[in-house]
Amino acid sequence: MTTTQKLQQKLNDSKAARWTALIIVSFTMMMAYFFTDVMGPLEAPLTTKGKLVYFDNGTYLSADSLSKVCIEKVGSIDEITAGKTYSFIYNENKQLKKEIATVGHVYTLTDTAIATNGKFIALENDTLDAASIKAFGLKTEINIDEIAKGKSYQVLHIEKKDKKEKVINEKLTVDTTINGLGWSSSNYGFFSGAYGLINVFLLMLFFGGIILDKMGVRFTGIMSTGLMFVGAAIKWYAVNGTFTGEIFGLPTQVAIASLGFAVYGVGCEIAGITVTKVIAKWFTGHEMALAMGLQVALARVGTACAMFFALPLAQKFGVVSSPVLFGAGALCIGFLSYMVYCVMDKKFDKSAGIEKTSANPDEQFKFSDLKVIFCNKGFWLITLLCLIFYSAVFPFLKFATNLMIIKYNVSPDLAGIIPGLLPFGTMLLTPLFGSLYDRIGKGATLMLIGSVLLTIVHVLFALPILNYGWFAVIVMIILGFAFSLVPSAMWPSVPKIIPMKQLGSAYAIIFYIQNIGLSLVPMLIGSVIDSNTSNGTTDYTMPMSIFAIFGILAVLISLLLKKTDKKYNYGLQKANKK
C-alpha cells in the first residue's frame, strides 16, 4: 500500500482530525493576513508629513494645513480693520480662490451717475471687491505642538471633491492625532509591492515549493512562520524609528520597511502553499473545496480585522507603528498555533504507519517531476488567471480607503469599513461556493462568472457616475461575490491537474507568478495616482481603468481554461466528493 493510500484509508475514519487540522492551520494564516493588510487603511498618515489631525466630524487635515486655515470669526465686512491679516475666499472668473493677506485700507466707491455703490478692500498685492468675497476671517496662528484631543479650531478653506468646490467655514474639535511619516504615494506603492520582491527576483517562493515537497509540511511551516515574524520585526523597527538619507533612491525609512515587508512576504507565501498542501493532504477525496473555502474565509477574517482596527489602533496610540506591533504579536500566536499542528500531524502519521524512510520511492519528489508541471497547459492557464485576478483585487484594496474618501465622499472614519465588507462577504460566500463545487462541480464555470463580475466592478469604479457612499457599498458587495467565486474553484482545481508529490512545487509556481503582479501592480498604480493628483485631489479614472483591463483579461483566460478542460478532461467541471 502506498503512502497516499495509507493516508486516505486513515482519513476516511478521521473526520474530526481533518477538521481540527484545518482550523489550526487556518488560524495561523488568519494571523498572517491581518499583518499583510494592517497598513492598508493607514495610507493617509503614511503619506502625511508631520501630525495628522482627525476631527469629531470624521474629517482630517495635516497639522501644517490646519495652521494655514485657522481663523477667528469676524461679524461683517464693516469690522475689517487695516493693518490686520485676514484669510479671504472669493470668486474670480467663476472659480473659488483663497488669499491670506494684510489689509491696507477699506474704502467705498460711489458713482451716482450710474447709481452703484461698492466696497473694496486694498490688500498688499491686490484689491478685492467685497461683493466677490464668499467667506473670511481674522487669520490666527496656532502652535502645532499644542494640537491635542478636545481642542477646537475655526477653519476656513476650500474643499475640492469630484472637481467641485465648496467653502468650509466651521468650528472643528480635535478627536485624535497620528504622527505621519511623510511618504509619497509612489513610496507607499513601492512599499506595498515590496511584499513579493524577494519571491519574484530571488525565486525564493519557487525554492520554497521544492523545500516543501522535499522536507514536508512540518519543517516548511515552521520555517515560513519564523520568517514572517523576522520580517514583521524589521518592518516595525522601520516605521517606529526616525531616519535620514536615502537607500537606492528611496527614503531610508521606506527602504527598511520595504525590506521587512519583503522578508515577511517570503514567509507568508511559503506558509500559504504549505497550508494549501496540508489541506490537500487531509481532504483529497473528501470536502476539499469546502475546506479550502473555509481556510480562505478565516484568512479574510484577518484582512477584515486589519481594515477595521488598524486606523483606530493608530489613533489610540498616535503612531503608525502601534498596529504593526500588534500584528507582530498576532504572528507569534500564529506560530504557536502551527507548532500545535506539527505535533498533531506527526502523531497522525505515526498512527497511520507512515514513516519517511519507508515511503514508496515512486512517490518521492524528483527534480525531473517539474516537467510534468511545466508541460501542463491547464496548469499555466490557472496560473495566469491567478496572476491577473489577484492583481485586480489585492492592490486595489491597498488604495481603496482613499478612493472611498476622495471619489465617494465617505468620511475617513468609515472609509476603511467599506473595503472591509469584502473580506466579510468572502467569509460567507467562499465556503458556500466551495461546497457547491464539491457537490456538483462546474469549477471552470464558477471561475468564469467570478471574472465577469470582477470586470463589471472595476468598470463601475472607473466611470464618473453615482459618486455616493451607498453606491460604493453595492459595488464592493459585487466584488465580494467575484472574490469568492474564483478562489473557491481555482485552488481546489490544482490537485485535479497536478499529482500530490508535485503539488507543493505547483502551488509555489502559481504563488510565484502571482507575486509578480502583487509586487509590480501597486507600484504602477501608486505612480499613476501620483500623476493624476492635483492640489490634493485624485482622479481615479485611470487607475480603475487599469484594474478593469485586468478583469477583461481574466474573462478571456477563464474561457480558454474551460475549453482546455473539455479537451484534456481534467475534471474541473466534475464534483470533488467521491
**Identity of residue 262:** A
Return the C-alpha cell found at 374.
511545466
Supply the angle between the helices 443-462 and 377-391 in degrees, to the nearest 10: 30
Instruction: Show Cβ contacts of residue 439 under 8 Å, excluding neighbours closer than 6 positions.
Output: 575, 577
* Cβ 10 vs Cβ 351: under 8 Å: yes
What pLDDT is recorded for position 511?
Answer: 80
pTM: 0.73
What is the distance between the alpha carbons of residues 504 and 511, in angstroms, rounded to a whole number?
Answer: 10
What is the distance between the alpha carbons of residues 282 and 276, in angstroms, rounded to a whole number?
Answer: 10
What is the distance between the alpha carbons of residues 363 and 372, in angstroms, rounded to a whole number?
Answer: 14
What is the distance between the alpha carbons of residues 449 and 480, in angstroms, rounded to a whole number?
Answer: 13
Instruction: Show Cβ contacts of residue 406 under 8 Å, excluding neighbours closer than 6 positions.
Output: 161, 537, 538, 540
Q: Which residue bears the cell 537607500?
A: 247
What pLDDT is recorded for position 115?
Answer: 44
Neighbouring-strand partners of residue 178 = 52
What pLDDT is recorded for position 454?
Answer: 92
Looking at residue 70, the DSSP 8-state letter turns out to be B
* Cβ 485 vs Cβ 444: under 8 Å: no
The domain covering 14-47+182-568 belongs, at the CATH homologous superfamily level, to: MFS general substrate transporter like domains (1.20.1250.20)
The rounded radius of gyration (Å) of the Cα atoms in the chain is 28
Q: What is the mean pLDDT of each run of 10 residues along the chain (578 residues)?
A: 53 72 91 89 86 85 85 82 86 82 76 55 79 85 85 84 74 89 85 82 82 87 93 94 88 94 92 88 78 82 85 90 93 93 84 54 58 85 93 84 76 71 75 82 89 91 79 85 87 83 81 82 83 74 88 94 88 74
Q: Which residue bears the cell 472668473?
A: 93
200 exposed, middle or buried (CB, 10 Å; 0-12, 13-18, 19+)?
buried
Domain ranges of the chain: 14-47+182-568, 54-173
**Identity of residue 387:** L
Return the C-alpha cell found at 171.
468650528
What is the distance between the alpha carbons of residues 438 and 451, in angstroms, rounded to a whole number?
Answer: 20
What pLDDT is recorded for position 80?
Answer: 84
What pLDDT is recorded for position 407?
Answer: 74
Using DSSP, state whether 247 is helix, strand or coil: strand
What is the distance between the alpha carbons of residues 438 and 296, in angstroms, rounded to a whole number?
Answer: 16
Q: Which residue bears the cell 505621519?
A: 180
Helices and strands, number each (H, E), in the chain = 20, 15
What pLDDT is recorded for position 350?
Answer: 76
* Own/partner long-range contacts of 317-322 (Cβ < 8 Å, ≥24 apart): 318/176, 318/177, 318/178, 318/179, 319/178, 319/179, 319/240, 320/39, 320/42, 320/45, 320/46, 320/178, 320/179, 320/180, 320/181, 320/239, 321/236, 321/239, 321/240
At 218, phi and psi to the nearest 5? -70, -55
Q: Which residue bears the cell 511584499?
A: 195
Containing 305, the helix (H) or strand (E) segment is: helix 288-317
Residue 511's nearest CA partner among 302, 294, 270 is 270
Residue 422's nearest CA partner among 467, 487, 466, 468 is 487
